[in-house]
A and B are shown apart, each in its own frame.
Chain A
Amino acid sequence: MSRVRDVLASLGAVLVGLGFLFVVQPGLAAVLPIPRLALIVIGLLAAVEGIRSVQRRRGSEIVGAEPPDPEFGIETDAPGDDFDARIARLSTRRGWIGGDFDRVENRLRTAAITVVAARYGLSKLEARERIEAGSWTEDPVAAAFLGGPTVPQPPLEVRLRMRLGTTPRFQRYVHRTADAIAATWEAR
């Protein structure tokens, strides 16, 4: 294989050399009787090879090694960063994607029940009822997120602002609920 390649490479080099000679001494070219038709064929062949090269380039990426970055040692998340990342990944402007929604809601609800029970000295059942009624927090967004069907939607102005903002709506609901839970816990 490499022998064939060497022969072809040598042939190519000789032809290129010859070409340069003709550029310097155009008179010599007259010695070779190349008909116009043959030139057109060679030109078309070059064009076809050009198209093939474009196709090949389109079908392939420039590749290269990806050496490691060993300078920085281990970098780990702070507690809760995984939650933020998951919420950011799953809530898009079109709505909630993926089936993780129940898990997130359950986690928030469980935390809310325990926090409300501890804060107001209630039983778990009473705390659950208070959350269902939406009266556990002053934040209408958090109250609506965990509350039952009787809890009113947040005021129109708040909803409009959430719709127009850059943060996806679900993300805002989750964030405000998480913050309401944390605020209730700190205020105990």
Chain B
Amino acid sequence: MTVRQTHRWYGVAAVAFFAAAGGILSSRPALLLVGVVGVGYAAYARLTTAPEVSLTLDRTVSDQEPPPGSEVEVTVELTNTGDPVFDLRVVDGVPPGLEVTEGSPRLGTALRPDKTATFSYTVEAQRGQHEFGAATILARDASGAEERELEQATETTLTCIPSLPPAGPSIPLRPQTAQYTGPVPTTSGGAGVEFYATREYRPGDAMTRVDWSRLARTGELSTVEFREERMATVVLVLDARQSAYRSDSEGTPALEHAIDAARSLTTSLLGDGHQVGIAAFGAEPCWLAPTTGEDQRAAIRRLLAIHPGVEPTPPQSQIVVSRRVRQLRRQLPANAQVILLTPLIDDYIATIAGRLDAYGHAATVLTPDITGGETPGQRLARTERGLRIERLRGNQIPVIDWTPTDPLEQALGILRERQP
């Protein structure tokens, strides 16, 4: 609690004393009276103190687990359990990740003992676990010369977990895969469905794979090899450093677009039978080991909504990304490929994509384009991002340049066309 003098009556005291002095020295009672009235005000301001405040705060929300985009009504009840307060101002602790769409989270009132003041406002639900902060309360005496500032907390949490889309566009994966049979073509021949090559017959080859027509034609015994198709292990890596919270012209941070894309990709990859995991370079270490199945789908859905490593508000402290990268390298299965979701706002993240690729984790970069073209700085940032994309592509790392106003499918289609 803070008690402070506002100093707002100092000027009045000066005027009062001068008037009184003038009245006395020039023997003019009227002037003296003006001074006396002023001195009265100043003395009152000096003598009164801000009231001791004793309040209880009660906050209720219309839905504690709302769907994203829905309106949630927040009602705050303030009860005076102490002395009367003439001037009470309250600002509720709306979580930074939520926006007030209707009403005001503020109240100014006088409050008698045992009376309750109520105010309510509406927020729009966004993904995340939003904890309401303490309400700021200001109490002043009638003169306003002294004010008391305190915080009144009550626990309220709003949790919003968006569901994963029922269907998502499939992403062309890099040809590096796990040992299980699945839909990703490899560059090695073996058992499969698509013709890959023929080779000399070796004892032990299955009779069904002997090239009988060739034997009839040339008399040589040979074996047909099919392209092996395997299940991939994919880790979606989210860039959640401060720079990923830069926003597009609509005010939506790049990370939100990246998370939208991650949701769609999770659906399509898990649907195709791949193992999917999640990692993030954010405020907190974030890792979900790749696997398949419904449980994984639920775990990813939850992680993308409320993990502290991908919070909807920018991290307050500097993130040591090199440490996160080292951690990720230790956690990644040897055959995992990574899809890095980043706005590509700086050179460092492009370097990391290259490094992961060089370590043997085939990397693909999916980058939501949030750059604008209104100011020279924005145009320069857009150009530099374009240069980073070119550099990555030059290093054989596929880049999906996605404009979030277009469907993700469109950007993925362009990548498919680029690939041989």
Contact B377 A9 (CB under 8 A): no
Contact B18 A39 (CB under 8 A): no
Contact B383 A185 (CB under 8 A): yes
Contact A64 B6 (CB under 8 A): yes
Contact B377 A82 (CB under 8 A): yes
Residues of B within 8 A of A40 (CB): 24-25
Contact A57 B386 (CB under 8 A): no
1/0 contact string of A95-139 vs chain B (CB within 8 Å): 000000000000010010011001000000000000000000000
1/0 contact string of A56-100 vs chain B (CB within 8 Å): 110011111101101111111111111111010000000000000
A148 at the interface (CB under 8 A from B): no
CB interface residues, A 28-69, toward B, < 8 Å = 39-40, 42-47, 49-51, 53-54, 56-57, 60-65, 67-68
**Could you say which of A16, A51, A73 contacts B40, with CB atoms under 8 Å apart?**
A16
Contact B98 A73 (CB under 8 A): yes
The distance from the CB of B373 to the nearest CB of chain A, in whole angstroms, is 8
B401 at the interface (CB under 8 A from A): no
Complex: A40 Cα to B47 Cα, angstroms:
28
Complex: A175 Cα to B375 Cα, angstroms:
9
Contact A111 B21 (CB under 8 A): no
Contact B24 A74 (CB under 8 A): no
Whether A80 touches B21, Cβ cut-off 8 Å, given contacts A65-B149, A68-B91, is no
Whether A80 touches B136, Cβ cut-off 8 Å, given contacts A39-B24, A44-B21, is no
Whether A83 touches B94, Cβ cut-off 8 Å, given contacts A74-B313, A114-B387, is no
Q: Which of chain A's residues has its CB closest to B138's CB?
A: A65
Interface core residue of B8, B147, B248, B379 (most chain A CB under 10 Å): B379
B167 at the interface (CB under 8 A from A): no
A162 at the interface (CB under 8 A from B): no
Main secondary structure of the interface of B (DSSP, over half): mixed
Whether A79 touches B246, Cβ cut-off 8 Å, given contacts A40-B25, A114-B387, is yes
Chain A: number of interface residues, binned into ranges: 35 or more
Q: Which of chain B's residues has its CB closest to A29's CB?
A: B29
B58 at the interface (CB under 8 A from A): no
Complex: A49 Cα to B46 Cα, angstroms:
15
Contact B384 A111 (CB under 8 A): yes
Complex: A72 Cα to B386 Cα, angstroms:
32
Main secondary structure of the interface of A (DSSP, over half): helix
Residues of B within 8 A of A23 (CB): 29, 33
Contact A79 B100 (CB under 8 A): no
CB interface residues, B 296-342, toward A, < 8 Å = 312-314
**Could you say which of A46, A50, A80, A115 contacts B377, with CB atoms under 8 Å apart?**
A80
B290 at the interface (CB under 8 A from A): no
The distance from the CB of A61 to the nearest CB of chain B, in whole angstroms, is 7
A12 at the interface (CB under 8 A from B): yes
The distance from the CB of B393 to the nearest CB of chain A, in whole angstroms, is 12
Q: Which of chain A's residues has its CB closest to B254's CB?
A: A79
Residues of A within 8 A of B104 (CB): 71
CB interface residues, B 1-26, toward A, < 8 Å = 2, 4-8, 10-11, 13-18, 20-21, 24-25
Whether A54 touches B14, Cβ cut-off 8 Å, given contacts A67-B89, A79-B382, is yes
B402 at the interface (CB under 8 A from A): no
The distance from the CB of A90 to the nearest CB of chain B, in whole angstroms, is 13
B378 at the interface (CB under 8 A from A): yes
Q: Which of chain A's residues has its CB closest to B385's CB?
A: A79
Residues of B within 8 A of A43 (CB): 20-21, 24-25
User: Which residues of A pack against B, CB within 8 Å?
Assistant: 5, 9, 12, 16, 19, 23, 39-40, 42-47, 49-51, 53-54, 56-57, 60-65, 67-68, 70-85, 87, 108, 111, 114-115, 118, 174-176, 178-179, 181-182, 185-186
Q: In the complex, given contacts A73-B96, A181-B383, what are 18 additional A-B residue pairs having Cβ atoms less than 8 angstroms apart?
A: A39-B25, A44-B21, A53-B17, A56-B10, A57-B7, A68-B91, A70-B94, A70-B133, A73-B99, A76-B245, A77-B247, A78-B378, A80-B371, A80-B372, A80-B375, A84-B378, A118-B387, A178-B376
24 interchain pairs (CB within 8 A)? A42-B24, A43-B21, A47-B17, A47-B21, A50-B14, A53-B13, A57-B10, A60-B10, A62-B8, A67-B138, A68-B93, A70-B105, A71-B94, A73-B126, A74-B245, A74-B314, A75-B247, A78-B248, A79-B381, A81-B375, A85-B377, A114-B387, A181-B383, A186-B383
